Chain A
Amino acid sequence: MKILVALKRVADPDNANKVKIPPSGDRIDTAGLEWKPNPFDEYALEAALRLTEDGKAPKARAGEVVVVTFGPKETEQTLRAALATGADRAIRVDVTDDKLDGALVARALKALVEREKPDVVLMGKQAVDGDSNQVGQSLAELLDWPMATFAATIQEEQGALLVGREVDGGVAVLRVRLPAVVTVDLRIVAPTSVYSLKTARTHKYNDGVRFAALPAIMASKKKPLAEVKLADLTADSGLKVQYHGFEPPPARKAGIKVKDVADLVARLKNEAKVL
């Protein structure tokens, strides 16, 4: 199976307080931010690796995993890290975030999918910076492929994937015929979430995303990493979403101390008006 994984680099969500907005309010100042892969995309890569291996021998890849990101030269670090955990090949579409929106990324990915012809496109359900949750769905529509979003489990079948999605009140199971687009949720990296045809159903993975060991990190420098211009993928680089201004959330005000329960109830009723 050949899988294309779309990875986005995001500002470290654990250091969200370092995000600064200049007085002009027309952009976010990204200087000094620490970058890491969008966690949901890392989960998608882990799922792709699990789908292309026998869980007992994870060094041998059955099929091919290609990772793609949209970003400036520095994002190659994110791609190299993905290659170190087991992806075979990487593609960087040279562009910066401010020139992109979800629809444009989906259009460009469509062109890339037509070139690469993967059986599956895997990505996170959303990126944790913009939280747009659009690219997977838009891409499936543009390709006219089946899709399954928010995957919590994936089992490979002959020519199809059986995808479990957690929904209110239970789990919905979809069978998507390949080729297909699948976006993943956080439970996809639980020990028994993903099985390829090769992996025994009794196999249990370590919880979470696998670690890149030093020999693989060094070997990743020799794996192919191609650069593609955005213009080579789509002539239409217009944006449907335009940002008109940014402002930080209001600073938290100091709390108050209440005397007793009666005081608390009174304040909830009269001041907060939630009772």
Chain B
Amino acid sequence: MPLPPPLFENDVHATLRSAARRWARTEIAPFAHAWEEQGEFPRALYESAAAAGVLGIGYPETYGGAGGDLSHVLAAAEEFILEGKSVGVAVGLGSHRIALPPILLVGTEAQKQKFLPPVLRGEQIAALAITEPGGGSDVASLTTRAVREGDHYLVSGAKMFITSGCRADFLVTAVRTGGDGHAGISLLVIEREHGFTVSRKLAKMGWWASDTAEIAFDGCRVPVSNLLGEEHQGFVPIMMNFSVERLLLASNCVAIAELAYRESMAYARERQAFGRSVSGFQVTRHKLADMATRLAAARALTQEVLQRHLRGEMVTGLAAMAKNAATDMCSAVCDQAVQIHGGYGYMREYVVERLFRDARLYPIGGGTREIMNEVISKTEGY
């Protein structure tokens, strides 16, 4: 049975989903395996996505976006994964989802006009640079330093695990402009021409089609006009970004697990063993039933948090819960998907093998499972 339409979606979402689905089927799916193996997808794909109107969803039309809210963003992103069948491509295309919001939130009108439209036209790539080689979760102790010299900052330090960093035209970068702790952090847009260097393209367990970089700043001269918001006030916009990022990641997980589940169902019907299809065995059916149940539960929670966020509620704790529920579910479903596929599930030519590796990122990226539990502990008040 096809899924009934998502509970909180209307026919605008349905039409948007069908456009995103058609784009992903023709522009991603035929090349998904090759791009994953090559560890990269063509830059032209950004422009293709922009031309089809699926890149700038969730951004104001004034800056070249396509309008809509987070529910539209998640609907389109889900279709990219379900129909494009490459998580790496979907997340690579989506790196602006975490890089641009700080500009939108605290940037000046001139900064918005300068940085948003080229990215939303697919001409430039934006990346967010917060994590460092010496620390990820502990944002408040980052060490990349920006020293004011006239109307420039001199930036020195390094950033780690930067999605789309190898090809990025600019990095929205967290730097230390003041003393220790969160009160000394600022956000700077560091452009390619300011001279950041990609130290290396990192080899990863999953997300192969998306590039991930280690970046070095060795005295980059960045004009003060690229400071986002007030000096030393970078910590709050970074934190405000997180709830949305966690919802995005939870929704990715729901889509990845749905894809793994669909692939498993199809395989179990087709594959013969002991004279009948694998789905003819109760043990397989029960595996699939458990997968479907966990998937439905994580989808329901993710949707609830999304709806509360759209209503304007603070969802810090709930978003962390949704992320943990969805990532745990996704890892478990992908593991069972590989099991149902047997030997073929261990082979690179099968989608579930790739999804199994892709899934492992989610309890780590965007705040680890453990940090999520700290956030939940705090919001619950223990």
Q: List the interface of chain A (C-beta within 8 A of B).
A: 32, 34, 36, 77, 80-81, 84, 206, 208, 211-218, 220-221
| Per-position 1/0 for B177-188, Cβ under 8 A of A | 000000000000
Q: Do B14 and A77 touch across chains, with their CB atoms under 8 A apart? A: yes
Listed by A's residue number, 6 A-B pairs whose Cβ atoms lie within 8 Å are A77-B11, A206-B51, A211-B51, A212-B15, A217-B15, A218-B12
Bound complex: CA of A159 vs CA of B208, how far in Å?
56
Given the interface pairs A80-B15, A206-B51, A214-B57, the reply to whether A34 lies near B2 with Cβ below 8 Å is: yes
Instruction: A139 to B155: give the CA distance in the assembly, Å.
Output: 72
Which residues of chain A come closer than 8 Å to B117, judged between CB atoms? none
**Known contacts A32-B1, A211-B22, A214-B57: does B66 contact A84 (CB below 8 Å)?**
no
**Smallest CB gap from B53: residue in A:** A213
- Contact of B53 (CB < 8 Å), options: A77, A214, A220: A214
Asked if A214 contacts B16 (CB within 8 A), the reply is: yes
Given contacts A81-B18, A84-B15, A212-B19, whether A218 and B67 have CB atoms under 8 Å apart is yes
Q: Closest residue to B23 on the A side, CB-wise?
A: A211
Q: Is B347 an interface residue (CB 8 A)?
A: no
A36 to B51, CA, bound (A): 23
Interface of A is mostly: helix
Nearest 9 A/B pairs, CB to CB: A213-B53, A214-B66, A211-B52, A214-B68, A81-B15, A211-B19, A217-B15, A215-B67, A217-B12
Provide the bound-state CA to CA distance between A54 and B23, in Å. Answer: 24
- Within the complex, the shortest CB–CB distance from B264 to chain A, in Å, comes to 18
Tell me the nearest residue of chain A to B11, going by C-beta.
A77
**Separation of A221 and B23 alpha carbons in the complex (Å):** 22
A214 near B2: Cβ-Cβ < 8 Å: no
Q: Is there a chain A Cβ closer than 8 Å to B72's Cβ?
A: yes
Could you say which residues of chain A place their CB within 8 Å of the CB of B16?
Answer: 212, 214, 217
Q: Which chain A residues lie closer than 8 Å to B23 at the CB level? A: 211
A208 to B26, CA, bound (A): 10
The answer to whether B54 has its CB under 8 Å from any CB of chain A is yes
Other A-B contacts than A211-B23, A214-B16, 17 sampled, CB-CB below 8 A, are A32-B1, A36-B18, A80-B11, A81-B15, A211-B53, A212-B19, A213-B52, A214-B12, A214-B67, A214-B68, A215-B67, A217-B12, A217-B16, A218-B12, A218-B68, A220-B15, A221-B12
B61 within 8 A of A: yes
Taking the nearest CB of chain A, how far is it from the CB of B4, in angstroms?
10
B122 CB to closest chain A CB (Å) equals: 13
